[in-house]
Structure 1
Amino acid sequence: MMRKLVLALTSTALLTATAHAADLGWNGNSSPVNTMYSGSSAFQWSGFYAGVNGGYGFGTLSREPSAGGVVTENNTNGWGLGAQAGYNADMGGFVLGGEADLQWSSISHSEDLGAAGTLKASVDGFGTVRARAGMAFDRVMPYVTGGVAFGNSTVSLTDPANVVTSQTNTHLGWTIGAGLEAAATDNITIKAEYLYVDLGAKSYTTAPGGNIDATQRFGLIRAGINYKF
């Protein structure tokens, strides 16, 4: 399902960029010119950039007894806010680069366990270090991206006496996604992006009934703004 969504987003980005390039395809005499991709872009994407972003995440928390047993899956959701920085190299319309970001997150799942209390599992924050590859159609660039993801997750149990037992672990995983970025001015760009993040499994001792291995996987739809130096 995740792969189909990424492919759909990439196709949409490419179609949008092609249409935008066609709209810009006029010469000084206001007569149409060939609007096919020319192998170079008037706007130069090369350089360092930094910015902020925000979006909404939705995914799955998987829990399995560390000794083996039944896997329980629950839906998660929440917001993400953060900042990113990166570098682009414009190779005549084909753009390669790298980007790193750090995010605050409220993506979580809470469950009433009856007499045992309330169990909550949350992604407190995460980050990614990714490669990006895009095709520049003047000031519009669809791209794909992928790399390493890491994050802090907390599992807590609040008993009926309101005593909280919690444990936080650092997870390491991977991410893949696609997006569309457009230059509003020579220094300001805006983007819309989808990332799928798999933070991998870690063992927790706070759940009733013994240790569990918890895995956080989620998709994040976000928008951002960058300043190009």
Structure 2
Amino acid sequence: MNKILIGTIGAVALGLSAPASAADLAARPYTKAPPPMVATIYDWSGFYIGINGGWGSSRNCWDFVTPVTGTLINDGCHNATGGTIGGQVGYRWQSANWVFGVEGQGNWADFSGRNTSPTAPGQENRTRVDAFGLITGQIGYAWNNVLVYVKGGGAVVDDRYDLRIAPGFVGAGTTFGSASGTRWGGTVGAGVEFGFAPNWSVGFEYDHIFLGTRNVDFTLGGVFVQTERVRQDVDLALIRLNYRWGGPAIARY
């Protein structure tokens, strides 16, 4: 009888203690879900200013213009080549992946070249390009921080021309006629630009300048010497570094 009573009391005690043990269990901690991943989207919109430098070549073909009749006599062609350095300023705005812009660029140049006339062997023709400027519009397509674009517009080139005594003749290198002036034309180009920081980008650009043909009057001490018809084009290969403001990189989910 006592054994039965003791067993019953133990079972009741065990039943009463079970809920208390469950209540003593620690609550499960709440862990906040991690934020969603953020993708950084490079925005090309904004004003920019930069520097550029590289190489250029001016193709020049000369023809002697015969007085009275105006007949052209071939005086040969040459390339005036050399280095250039300058700067650019512009504005771009981006719509989806398309990027549109306008830009002004000005460069100092040191392009020089010469040839001996095939029809007047004692005459050496020399062309120098001292500066050029471009005013262009742009349209491009961006893959995040990589921009590929084409451009086109107007161009102006500062030229110097000299008639000199050719090597192998008495007085070789002596100038007997000079001319200078600015020539206006058109330009087209293309480039690729890489944004390596929110406001900085570096790129490569190629430009071609069409200057057509014009008559150039040479003088010596203010006295007319002769007229040459000069056909000229210019090719440029430039490395560019730009700083942009007014449109920093943005983040989107």
TM-based fold match above 0.5: yes
Contact 1:52–1:226 (8 Å) recurs in 2: yes
Kept after mapping to 1: 8 A contact 2:101/2:138: yes
Please identify which structure carries the higher strand content: 2
Q: Could you report, residue by residue, the CA deviation over 1:107-146 in whole angstroms, capped at 9, with x for unpaired residues?
A: 2222346884543111111111011100111100000111
- TM value normalised by structure 1: 0.75
The answer to whether 1:224 aligns with 2:231 is no
Contact 1:169/1:202 (<8 A) preserved: no
After the TM superposition, which of the residue ranges 48-57 and 215-224 deviates more from structure 2? 215-224
Runs of 4+ in 1 over 3 A off after TM superposition: 112-118, 161-165
Aligned counterpart, 1:56: 55
**What SS is found at the alignment partner of 2:226?**
coil
Percent identity at matched positions?
27
- Matched letter for residue 72 of structure 2: G
CA contact (8 A) 2:217 2:225 kept: no
1:215 offset after TM fit, Å? 2.5
Q: 1:49 to 1:68 in 2, by over 3 A?
A: farther
Structure 1 residue runs without a partner (length 5+): 1-26, 30-40
Q: Establish whether residue 206 from structure 1 lines up as the match of residue 205 from structure 2.
A: no
Partner of 1:129: 135
Is residue 171–residue 200 contact of structure 1 (8 Å, CA) maintained in 2?
Answer: no
CA RMSD of aligned residues (A): 2.7
Give me the whole-angstrom Cα distance separating, in 1, the residues matched to 2:111 and 2:98: 35
**Structure 2 spans left out of the alignment, 5+ residues:** 1-35, 166-170, 246-253
Instruction: Give the aligned partner of residue 158 of structure 2.
Output: 152
| Structure 2 residue identity aligned to 1:51 | G
State whether structure 2 residue 227 is matched by structure 1 residue 215: no
Cα distance in 2 for residues equivalent to 1:90 and 1:104: 31
1:163 CA displacement: 4.8
State the one-letter code of the partner of 1:109.
Answer: G
Gap change, CA 1:145 and 1:171, over 3 Å in 2: same
- Counterpart CA distance in 1 for 2:71 and 2:51 is 41
Pick one of 82, 85, 91 that aligns with 2:89. 85
**1:20-76 deviation per Cα after TM superposition (whole angstroms, max 9, x unaligned):** xxxxxxx949xxxxxxxxxxx811111110111011112410212342424432233
| 8 Å CA contact 2:218, 2:225 repeated in 1 | no
Q: Paired residues, what number?
A: 193
Matched, 1:105 2:117: no
Which amino acid counterpart does residue 63 of structure 2 have in structure 1? E
Specify the code of the residue in structure 2 equivalent to 1:184.
F
Matches within 5 A, 1:189-200: 189-200=201-212
Query: Counterparts of 1:76 and 1:214 in 2: how far apart (Å)?
Result: 13
TM-score by structure 2 length?
0.68
Q: Distance in 2 between matches of 1:45 and 1:53?
A: 19
